[in-house]
Amino acid sequence: MAGNPGKLTAKVGKTEIDVPKTVRDIRGIEDLVKDAIEETWNENLVNQIKVWLTPFAHANDIAEWDSILLERYPPLYTNTETRCSDCYQGPCDLSKGKGVCGIDCDTYQAKLSLLTACKGLASFVSDTRDLLEYCVKKHGIDAEIKWGLAMTYGYMNTLAISGQNLYSLADVNKVLSYVEGQLAELLTAASHGHDCTVTDLESKVFHAGSVLLAAMDVAEALRWTFFGFLWSGDQELLDVKDYPKPYTQVGLGTVDTDKPVLVFVGNDFVPAYEAIQFIKKNKLEDKIEVCGVGSVGHDMIRFYEPAKLLVTPVKLTKLLRLGIVDVLVVSDSCCKSNMLEEAAKTDTRIIATNFKQSFGLTERSFDSVDDIVKDLTEDLKAVLVFDKDKAGEIAAKAVQKVKGKRKKSYLLSANQVKEQASKCDGCDACFRACPNRIISSKVILPAKDGDTSKLAELCDSSLFCGKCEAACPQDIPIMDMILASSSEEIKEDNVRMRAGRGFISQLEVRDIAITGFNLPGVVNITGCGNYPGSDKDVGWLTNEFVDSNLAITVTGCSAQDAARYFNEKTKKFIFEQFPSLYNPRCLANIGGCSSQGMPMTSPTYKLGYLGYRCPYKATFEMLSDFMIKWPAILILWGPATDVMYTIAAAHARSSIKVIVGPHGSNFKRYLTGNKYDRSKWWSLHGLENYKKEIEPLPENLIYPVETKEEAVALTYKMCMGFQEFETTRMGKFDLWLNAYKKWFGKTMPDDWHLFVKRDVELPFTKKAKMLRLLAEEHGFEIDKKRGRITKFKHRDGRMLDPGEIVEEYGMRVGLYTTFLSRLVYKIRADRLEE
Amino acid sequence: MSATAVDIAKSLKDKKTLLFTGALCDTLEIGGKKLLEYAAEIAEGAGIPVAATGNTIAGLVDKNLTTKKVFAMDIINYMRAEKWEEPLFKEKPETLAFIGYYPSFLNMMLTALGDTKTVTLDNVALEEATLSPPDLNLDDWAKFLNDVIGELKK
């Protein structure tokens, strides 16, 4: 203890801080708080604002920030459910008024939103708890967590929300216990939410997201510390640009079906890890094809180079019906309920390894490996084995014996395809049921005469969800017809990508901080493959951004779809073409969707500290308040899970703008702003503490789009910040307007004039036209000869000089701004006397 | 509610109707022409403006229509504001009509609109819409849209 005996103080320079007064409840974490202040605050700052930390934050600790966001971006509920049966007095029809408990329809939607977020959080936390228990069992609770060469500050999501860093498994346990405690509270609020407001409940949805990212940090730390995952945090920076090499094979055409094919699906990689240890120990690497689907696939390629990625989990039915899988090892997530039924069609054996997806099977961990392998080899189609070590060994052994004992082929013959097509009566029930509107009688009927080309075209774009088959009154096996017609397409499905590299280093963030002033934006694309259009669409998006000098990262199954982009000029796949850095014009695969804490929030917090000395331990609100100006966009292209919903909330709360692609439209809630309502667009002058009107930026926090072109145009717009340099604004303007020119009929956005504050921000090639339109359509006064704006029209109708508009509309660069009044700089009374 | 071409045309003729054209207008072809062509003829026949979402503005910009590129959720969002300020329509529209949307996207918009009157022109009967065609196959859908256009011209 420093300073007065008996009084806990932290010392920052010459200034002493009374530690218990910096938190809501010191509750036995005195040392953590004291260290956080002394390590991350500087003397100027502690003298200008009240030192306030939120260690192991409760939702309510961040509520002030949440309410600011939710006031500007009020939740817009979709897919609404109006019948509430949550209590014994129900059901109540909320479309006609309040329920008996007093809950209204919007509040009920907020409750459901929180429930979804809790489900997303719970599914990940329970997996992480499993992983932690496994690590403790193998290595002991005091085992050290690795940091690697390039990690200076620690695990940022964990630090921002809890203040706790990860040095050992005991620390991991502390953080995970905190997350589990929060989950219990949030779930309780979701059950009793009729007492809350929409803002209360949505604040808790945000919180579920924030603690989810902390859990993701934990999982990432365990993965690379104890399982040897690829980890760029342990590489020299010069090596990272080509780390890892783009050796990972992706696609159905990569599988050598002459070998036994062992496929893992789900979220738990440990059975795969154990199977691979067995395979390596017995030198079976060349004898068994080891493949993955979904999160586990993206994990496997980070510790086993020969592993292959097949399809995105949405297309699991496609994989099973092709009949190339001998043994499928299933954990949880990324799976379908009808997997046993689908696997039975091709005699694929299933090993379930998780109680969350146990298919009603009897657990057999206490039986011998050889007995279980024998049963699987003979006629048993599926087993349940919780013991992960044993499940891995069984998988590796069984796959060798099952090979050759399964049905040779499930695929339809050419004649069978014709027969099935002739049953079609043209009712188009398949079309009406298809989420992508791609299958119809016009596609099926030509196959009657042997023309299967239209069916083959769907191999790439069909989700293989099976809704068409379920809707068909003639019971035509439409998915089987597509597969039978697509042998060439499947053979050619063979691309290259880089496996996930994990951590983004401080040095890369430093680079971004320097280039950031002219950087159009940083974008992360993630999702589950649940979108209309081609598998190559994510690659198209990725290429568009990287080609426009944005810094691009990909995570989850989006990475394997991005990998499909092939540049015909350079004859390279996109991962072969661009360096693997967190830098402009670079493309880095970070890892599976469970690595989602790494690419966006973590570097953003680092940037806050590196660039602006914003403390990063237990200071979630400060970091998010600061970073709202940072051009960071998360694109959820084809999300399909509750975890993705929670991830969206997590990023929005951290000021990272989220764009959701089509079919992400099953989301229950968006956060949308109204640019016309000027009362919503303000920021506090950080020195003088008054509200200033700003441009309507960022216009939305979570927003759905319909097409990939809309996603690109909106990304460029959402990258614009209300406080940026002239050249930066010019570059973003240019990208945004070019997108309209390319894809939207050469039109201009209807609101571009709202973002004009200086004529030097207008892109050179468009300046003449923009000046003309400003004069003709928006009431600005222009000096045509000099090509200058002489009078700007403020949104309130006043005509202002160039100097005045900058002062009255928006924030000039360099000025300290905030949304939180407690963060306005105040000069201490004693300083004033000095 | 499942409706006839006459019902739907009558509803579209209401001058406070705004027609949304979705991404499928660019990709679907029925009865020998693009869905976007039907949409344009409907808007012209009814004399109503078009909120061109997705990339559909590219195919509408040269037609004699009141239209502009919008993001679908923007309009849905503005519908809940007390004051209507979107210049595409002078006052808050009373009816929103939709053609060419992925089902999940359409459902998202319809369910967010609450009590607003909605008309869909896709070939699926929808409970969420105030008026929608019955379930139709592609040929009958084209015929239905032609019937709507015919009614609008009367």
Taking alpha carbons only, the member of A496, A489, A528 closest to residue A647 is A528
The beta-carbon neighbor of A709 closest among B55, B74, B137 is B55
CB contact under 8 A, A428 and B77: no
Residue of A444, A665, A750, A796 to mutate when probing chain B, most B C-beta within 10 A = A665
Q: C-alpha angle A123/A185/A270, rounded to 5°?
A: 25
CB contact under 8 A, B104 and A77: no
Q: For residue range A110-147, what is the model confidence (pLDDT) as tens digits?
A: 999 999 999 999 999 999 999 999 999 999 999 999 99
pLDDT at B147 over 50: yes
CB contact under 8 A, B105 and A746: no
Rounded distance, CA A366 to CA A814, Å? Answer: 66
pLDDT band at A193 (very low <50, low <70, confident <90, very high): low
Q: What is the pLDDT of residue A96?
A: 87
Rounded distance, CA A388 to CA A353, Å? Answer: 7
Q: Which residues pair with A800 in a beta bridge?
A: A792
Residue B139 CB neighbours (<10 A): 14
Q: C-alpha angle A443/A448/A452, rounded to 5°?
A: 50
Rounded distance, CA A484 to CA A412, Å? Answer: 6
Q: What is the pLDDT of residue B66?
A: 96
The beta-carbon neighbor of B138 closest among A428, A705, A747 is A428
Closest CA of chain B from A711, distance in Å: 10
Query: Which amino acid does the sequence have at B38?
Result: Y
Rounded distance, CA A256 to CA B97, Å? Answer: 51
Query: Which amino acid does the sequence have at A553?
Result: T
Q: What is the dihedral of CA A223, A521, A809, A655, to 10 degrees?
A: -20
Residue pointed to by tokens 């990432």: A220
Mean pLDDT to the nearest integer, A24-50:
94
pLDDT at A2 over 70: no
CB contact under 8 A, A441 and B83: no
Q: For residue range A532-554, what is the model confidence (pLDDT) as tens digits?
A: 988 889 999 999 999 999 999 99
- Report the chain A residue with the minimal C-alpha distance to residue B138: A428
Q: Are A516 and A612 in contact (CB under 8 A)?
A: no
Closest CA of chain A from B71, distance in Å: 7
Distances (CA, A) of A371 to A272, A274, A331, A393: 20, 19, 21, 12
Closest CA of chain A from B12, distance in Å: 23
Q: Count CA atoms closer than 13 A to A697's CA, side-chain side.
A: 29
Residue of A436, A437, A659, A754 to mutate when probing chain B, most B C-beta within 10 A = A437
Q: Which two tokens stand for residue A475?
A: 């019971």
Q: For residue range A261-278, what is the model confidence (pLDDT) as tens digits?
A: 999 999 999 999 999 999
CB contact under 8 A, A676 and B53: no
The SS3 assignment for A404 reads coil
CB contact under 8 A, B73 and A432: no
- Report the chain A residue with the minimal C-alpha distance to residue B31: A442
Q: Are B121 and B101 in contact (CB under 8 A)?
A: no
Rounded distance, CA A80 to CA A99, Å? Answer: 15
Residue A545 CB neighbours (<10 A): 26
Q: For residue range A585-629, what is the model confidence (pLDDT) as tens digits?
A: 999 999 999 999 999 999 999 999 988 889 999 999 999 999 998
Q: Which two tokens stand for residue A70?
A: 């939710």
Query: Which amino acid does the sequence have at A143?
Result: A
CB contact under 8 A, A428 and B85: no
pLDDT at A830 over 60: no
pLDDT band at A492 (very low <50, low <70, confident <90, very high): very high
Taking alpha carbons only, the member of B143, B43, B148 closest to residue A428 is B143
Q: Which two tokens stand for residue A108?
A: 């009920």
From chain B, the residues in CB contact with A744 under 8 A are: 55, 57-58, 69
Q: What is the pLDDT of residue A639?
A: 87
Q: For residue A234, which phi and psi values (nearest 5 degrees)?
A: -110, 15
Annotate A456-470 with three-state secondary structure: HHHHHHCCCCCHHHH
The beta-carbon neighbor of B104 closest among A435, A441, A749 is A435
From chain B, the residues in CB contact with A665 under 8 A are: 102, 104-105, 107-108
Rounded distance, CA A106 to CA A108, Å? Answer: 5
The beta-carbon neighbor of B77 closest among A427, A440, A672 is A672
Q: Is the dihedral of CA A674, A680, A686, A687 positive or negative?
A: positive
Q: For residue range B35-63, what is the model confidence (pLDDT) as tens digits?
A: 999 999 999 999 999 999 999 999 999 99
pLDDT averaged over every residue in chain A: 94
pLDDT at A1 over 60: no
Q: B41: left (phi > 0), else alpha (psi -120 to 50), else beta?
A: alpha
